[in-house]
Amino acid sequence: MITKRVLTTCPYCGVGCGFYLDVRDARIVGVIPSKSNPVSKGYLCVKGWHAHEPIQHPDRLKKPLIKENGKFKEASWDAALDYVAARLKQIKNKYGPDALAVCASARCTNEENFLMMKFSRAVLGTNNVDHCARTCHAATVAGLNQSFGSGASTNSYDELPFMDCILIIGSNPTEAHPIVGWRVRTAIDNGAKIIVCDPRKILVAESAYVYIQQYPGTDIALLNAMINFIVTQELHDKEFIAKRTEGFSELWDAVKDYTPESVEDVTGVKAELIKQAAKLYATSKRACIMYSLGMTEHTVGTDNIIAMANLAMVCGHVGREFSGLYPMRGQNNVQGACDMGALPNVYSGYQPVTDEAIRKKFADAWRVNLPAVKGLTLTDMIYKAIEGPLKCFYIIGEDQVRTDPNTHWIEQALDSLEFLVIQEIFLSETAKKADVILPGASFAEKDGTFTCAERRFQRVRKAIEPISGKTDGEIICEIAQRLGYTMESDPEKVCDEMASLTPLYTGVSFERLEDNGLQWPVPEKNHPGTPVVHLGKFIRGLGKFIPVRHKPPAEVTDKEYPFILSTGRMLFHYNTGTMTTRVANILREYPRNFVQINPADAQRLGIKKQERVMVRTRRGELKVAAQITDKIKPGVLWMPFHFSDEPTNVLTNNAFDPVCRTGEYKACAAKIEKI
Ligand SMILES: Nc1nc2c(c(=O)[nH]1)N[C@H]1C(S)=C(S)[C@@H](COP(=O)(O)OP(=O)(O)OC[C@H]3O[C@@H](n4cnc5c(=O)[nH]c(N)nc54)[C@H](O)[C@@H]3O)O[C@H]1N2
Ligand SMILES: Nc1nc2c(c(=O)[nH]1)N[C@H]1C(S)=C(S)[C@@H](COP(=O)(O)OP(=O)(O)OC[C@H]3O[C@@H](n4cnc5c(=O)[nH]c(N)nc54)[C@H](O)[C@@H]3O)O[C@H]1N2
Ligand code: SF4
Ligand SMILES: [Mo]
């Protein structure tokens, strides 16, 4: 007998599907998709269908753990929280507030992220707060903000089926955002022509009108060549450029030498294909660009984003319905964690910490003095831990040891700290390094909201009581209390406080999110939400053309490391796999890591199907099974990163974009050897 059905939002990817959790005798026994959810309309992917399974897995952390002489011992909540508060206070007194840093979680609710950034700023007194967007779409926030004045998706999922052309570049929607992938399929069925630019022949490339298989890390050359061709063929939107943008002549100065022929060598793509793609995109009436980490996870990530914004503006394909840029945000609530100000430079709604009037508004509301200088990014926290000034790190729901580039580097940083607190639902590799582990609560054990990749706030609802006894939000507030500062932990009240301090989300409240959620901006109490932004006018006024030029990845191939290694995702598993490797059927289908290699390379090296091989880079080495496939070019290798016991990030390069500080997960030099 099902005793209740609780409507909530999927805890995995940024699509934001809605489903019910079926509860029987205080246990969650199943998932049923919600037909009325505006995002998923009754569909779910394999991860959503199994989202209940990890929640009650026996491996869940249930009691706080304190490390003594290298071993974890169970402790009472009071003992653990007293100890954490005492150590935070001691470190702050000894070294000052900027010796501490917190990492919020894109897996947690908006309300918990708001509390985490408030805790950092108002309680610890530091702007050193960040989260995994740094490894992910920070380039989107930095790039689109410069071009358009806002760093989020310009349009909505529901427009996709009605596009004439979708340019999919560095995004694998059928695996990483399946329910958006389903809308892309609908668009194809409706007659849309798809352009796919991806070093791997991903599933949607099979249905592409033009498929471009460039080398990883050569997208600026490719996009500039498209712009070059469009302008020389007079296919650009002169009226849009004149009325709505600035800087076109500077752009032209930069792209005039990027003829399609001139980029053939660097991209590995025939000029004719680039011309076909450019012409199709420019001449389609309804055309948009969908992109993701293939563009952001590079040392030129920010420039990659700007190059796409340039292309869209040259063709007038932005700032109206059925157009735009769709950055496919990754985690269930990474859009929200950014929106809530879990970033070192802004409060909620992207209000700068360096703006005196804004700082005063928050300081008055919170009755404290607030730090005026920007904090450290996650990337720079790691450097500062190794160098010495950063002494203490409080991390919620992020497994840096498995997900940051170059595992040895991140381990060195965590080992250098005086005190590490991890708030987790499973014993992740990062948690193993902690001095104290605080057991958090999964999405099914709390109320709140997530914001998905189309800027939609949606409700998350509690189906069962927290298994550890406390939600993540309550834990943060109880530490704050012990440090002498009272914070309201009730999610609905936190949401109201956030809305009252944040002009972009003034109209957001639990009551108004009941049915379909709300897409921000929601600048007034009764505002209906905003499916399309930059309509008629960009948020920054005029759209800005910013010239960008091709730069090779930080590490290029050479005699010793002749392959380009790229990494990414597969449909069945999710990030570190702490959750999906605890779903029996998923693990049965995909139990282990692998490396993809082109048949010509495999033959030359004598590597056979499924043979275990050694992959090496300048950072490390890893034994994995070889998967021979013509879906990648000769000279390229590809690996997923979902398997904790065969950890891909021992190989990846900790080289970072100078602006947004994201790591180059998508291209480094590697070699592959028979064992
Ligand atoms: N099933 C599943 N879904 C997920 C996740 C998951 O782990 N599993 N994670 C979520 C998260 S956190 C995120 S951020 C998103 C990410 O979603 P995506 O970014 O779509 O996923 P990735 O596989 O990382 O990379 C996308 C594509 O970029 C291509 N690529 C690699 N290098 C380059 C390049 O230099 N140029 C171009 N143009 N393309 C390149 C890859 O071949 C790949 O097809 O997915 C979210 N959804
Ligand atoms: N090689 C390679 N590495 C990558 C990438 C890549 O493309 N290639 N992509 C990068 C990207 S885009 C991302 S976003 C990162 C993701 O990196 P992470 O954020 O480290 O990965 P997740 O598996 O999502 O881990 C989050 C942790 O949160 C925990 N958790 C889940 N829900 C909750 C909750 O409600 N409360 C608490 N307290 N904990 C919770 C999970 O158990 C898990 O250990 O990985 C990055 N790493
Ligand atoms: S597409 Fe994303 S949000 Fe939807 S069910 Fe799958 S993992 Fe969950
Ligand atoms: Mo991500």
Helix (H) or strand (E) holding 567: strand 563-568
47 CB less than 6 Å from ligand 3?
Answer: yes
Q: Is 571 in the pocket of ligand 3 (CB under 6 A)?
A: no
Which of these, 570, 585, 593, lies nearest to 49 by C-alpha position? 585
Say yes or no: do domains 4-49 and 140-328 share a fold: no
Ligand 2 binding pocket includes 428 (Cβ within 6 Å): yes
With a 6 Å cutoff on the Cβ, whether 18 touches ligand 3 is: no
Nearest ligand by distance to the CA of 410: 2
Q: Say whether pLDDT at 2 is over 90.
A: no
Nearest CA to ligand 2 atom 7: 568
Looking at ligand 3, which residue's alpha carbon is closest to its atom 4? 17
C-beta of 13 in contact with ligand 3 (< 6 A): yes
648: Cβ below 6 Å to ligand 2? yes
Ligand number nearest CA of 43 is 3
Q: Which atom of ligand 2 is nearest to the CA of 443?
A: 35
pLDDT in tens, 544-554: 999 999 999 99
**What integer pLDDT is reported at residue 515 of this predicted model?**
85
Whether residue 181 has its Cβ less than 6 Å from ligand 3 = no
293 lines ligand 2 (CB under 6 A): yes
With contact defined as beta carbons under 8 Å apart, do 601 and 615 qualify? Answer: no
* Cα of 358 from ligand 2 centre, angstroms: 31
Give the CATH H-level superfamily of domain 140-328: Dimethylsulfoxide Reductase, domain 2 (3.40.228.10)
47 C-alpha to ligand 3 centroid (Å): 6
Pick the closest to residue 561 from 667, 654, 408 (CA basis). Answer: 667
Angle subtended by helix axes 356-366 and 491-501, to nearest 10:
150
Residue to mutate, 177, 329, 335, 572, ligand 3, most ligand atoms under 8 Å from C-beta? 177
Query: Does ligand 3 lie within 6 Å of residue 17's CB atom?
Result: yes
Q: Is 80 exceeded by the pLDDT of residue 506?
A: yes
Tell me the β-bridge partners of 196: 168, 211
Place of tokens 């700032």: 319
pLDDT tens digits, residue range 93-107? 999 999 999 999 999
C-alpha–C-alpha distance, residues 570 and 280, integer Å: 29
Averaged pLDDT of the chain: 97
Instruction: Output the residue whose Cα is nearest ligand 1's atom 3.
Output: 176
Percent of the chain with pLDDT over 70: 100
Summarised one tens digit per residue, pLDDT across range 164-187 is 999 999 999 999 999 999 999 999
Ligand at minimal distance from the CA of 195 is: 1
Query: Whose structure tokens read 């009755």?
Result: 367
What average pLDDT does the segment 497-502 reach?
98
Nearest CA to ligand 2 atom 32: 107
What counts of helices (H) and strands (E) characterise the chain?
A: 23, 30
Provide the CATH number for the domain formed by 563-674 in this structure.
2.40.40.20
| Complete edge-to-edge strand list for the sheet that includes strand 456-460 | 448-451, 456-460, 518-519
Give residue limits of the domains in the chain: 4-49, 65-136+332-519, 140-328, 563-674
Convert the pLDDT of each residue in 330-351 to its tens digit. 999 999 999 999 999 999 999 9
Share of the chain above pLDDT 90, in %: 99
Q: Which contacts of 374-377 are long-range, i.e. CB under 8 A and separated by 24 or more positions? A: 374/127, 374/344, 374/345, 375/98, 375/101, 375/120, 375/126, 375/127, 375/128, 375/129, 375/130, 375/344, 375/345, 376/98, 376/101, 376/128, 376/130, 376/344, 377/130, 377/134, 377/138, 377/344, 377/661
Own/partner pairs, 518-527, CB within 8 angstroms, 24+ separation: 518/456, 518/457, 519/156, 519/454, 519/455, 519/456, 519/457, 520/339, 520/451, 520/455, 520/457, 522/457
H or E stretch covering 498: helix 491-501
Please compute, for residue 424, the number of CA atoms within 13 A of its CA located in the half-sphere on the CB side. Answer: 25
175-234 pLDDT, tens digit per residue, is 999 999 999 999 999 999 999 999 999 999 999 999 999 999 999 999 999 999 999 999
Atom of ligand 3 nearest to the CA of 46: 6
Residue with CA closest to ligand 2 atom 30:
397
In terms of Cβ atoms closer than 10 Å to its own Cβ (0-12, 13-18, 19+), residue 662 is: buried
Whether residue 9 has its Cβ less than 6 Å from ligand 2: no
Helix, strand, or coil (residue 240):
helix
Quote the ligand 4 centre to 331 CA distance (angstroms): 5
Of ligand 2's listed atoms, the one at least distance from the Cα of 428 is: 44
Rg of the Cα trace of the chain? 24
Instruction: For 362-379, give the secondary structure using H, E and C.
Output: HHHHHCCCCCCCCCCCHH
The CATH number of 4-49 is: 2.20.25.90
Q: Which residue has the tokens 């449909």?
A: 571
Q: What is the DSSP letter of 204?
A: G
Please give the distance, rounded to the nearest whole angstrom, from the Cα atom of residue 207 to the centre of ligand 1.
Answer: 19
pLDDT of residue 3: 86
Residue in 140, 399, 572, 586 to alter for ligand 2 test, most ligand atoms within 8 A of Cβ: 399
- The residue nearest atom 2 of ligand 1, judged by CA position, is 176
| Length of the chain measured in residues | 675
The CATH architecture one would assign to domain 65-136+332-519 is: 3-Layer(aba) Sandwich (3.40)
CA-CA-CA-CA torsion sign (632, 635, 641, 645): positive
Express each pLDDT in 510-552 by its tens digit: 999 998 999 999 999 999 999 999 999 999 999 999 999 999 9
Ligand 3 atom nearest the C-alpha of 39 is 4
Residue among 212, 204, 196, 229 at smallest CA distance from 268: 212
Q: Among all chains, which residue has been given the structure tokens 């501490």? A: 100
